[in-house]
Amino acid sequence: MKIVSAKKILAGNDKIARENLEFFEKEGVFVLNILGSPGAGKTSLLEALLPRLRESMPVAVIEGDLATSQDAERVAALDVPVVQVNTEGACHLDAAMVSSAAEALDLPRGGILFIENVGNLVCPAGFRLGEHLRLVVLSVTEGDDKVAKYPPMFQKTQAVALNKVDLAGALEFDEEKVRKDLERLLPGGRFFRVSARTGLGLEEVETWLREERACRFEETSG
Ligand SMILES: Nc1nc2c(ncn2[C@@H]2O[C@H](COP(=O)(O)OP(=O)(O)OP(=O)(O)O)[C@@H](O)[C@H]2O)c(=O)[nH]1
Ligand SMILES: [Mg+2]
């Protein structure tokens, strides 16, 4: 009987992810991997951010879902280049899928490529895609215990956006608890309070993205 260890599969994925990152760097593309539960508001956040960002830089999106092209259609409605990956059952994107999708995409050279991962708070955490940074979208409707209960997702990101804060008043959501759990799991990580619906907090996310891109791709003069 042949047994393939998960470690070997992850090592294979990491190798392709490194190649993806090299390719994106060569092409001048800053890449953000967006993760979070189904329905957290990943696509809604993109719909709110893309029109703001593309005023000054090219943007593009890779959408990951088990089935349908519904999220890609939402992005395409904004006239933003987009490729939908259907994982046909897989609960996360992997680096090879991103490599194929990038080949099919009009690359946003000098701008930002967003990758919306499959909605899932577990599986996508272990699979690097070739991204520069990760952003986990957590919504108040999921409950304030999710950071503590799903640690890998929150340990392997650089930033968390707490979304749907416009609904917080209708829920018993303890934001202090979430902040404390994050300080423990992700010390020094960025935290944004946002509402994709009202636009609250989006300016901070936009500024963060611009700065993170600039510090990697824009040479400092003087
Ligand atoms: N009130 C409120 N609703 C929101 C907000 N952001 C998203 N929603 C709603 O939440 C639902 C799910 O949003 P999506 O953006 O599709 O979530 P998603 O994370 O992309 O979902 P998957 O791709 O299926 O994982 C939709 O009905 C949105 O209108 C928000 O900030 N406030
Ligand atoms: Mg979505």
Residues 6+ apart with CB under 8 A from 95: 13, 14, 16, 17, 19, 20, 127, 128, 129, 130
pLDDT at 32: 98
- The structural domains of the chain, ordered by start, are 28-217 (3.40.50.300)
| Distance (Å) from CA 35 to ligand 2 centroid | 10
97-120 pLDDT, tens digit per residue, is 999 999 999 999 999 999 999 999
Beta carbon of 167 within 6 Å of any ligand 1 atom:
yes
Q: What is the mean pLDDT of residues 128-141?
A: 98
pLDDT class of 10 with cuts at 50, 70, 90 = confident
Q: What is the mean pLDDT of residues 177-191?
A: 98
| Distance (Å) from CA 40 to ligand 1 centroid | 5
Beta carbon of 195 within 6 Å of any ligand 1 atom:
yes
pLDDT at 220: 56
Beta carbon of 44 within 6 Å of any ligand 1 atom:
yes
| Distance (Å) from CA 132 to ligand 1 centroid | 24
pLDDT at 222: 46
Measured torsion, CA atoms of residues 212, 217, 218, 220, in degrees rounded to the nearest 10? 90
Q: What is the C-alpha R_g of the chain?
A: 17
Beta carbon of 64 within 6 Å of any ligand 1 atom:
no
Exposure letters 13-46 (e unless 16+ CB within 10 A, then b) = beebbeebbebbeeeebbbbbbbbbeebbbbbbb
pTM over the 0.75 mark: yes
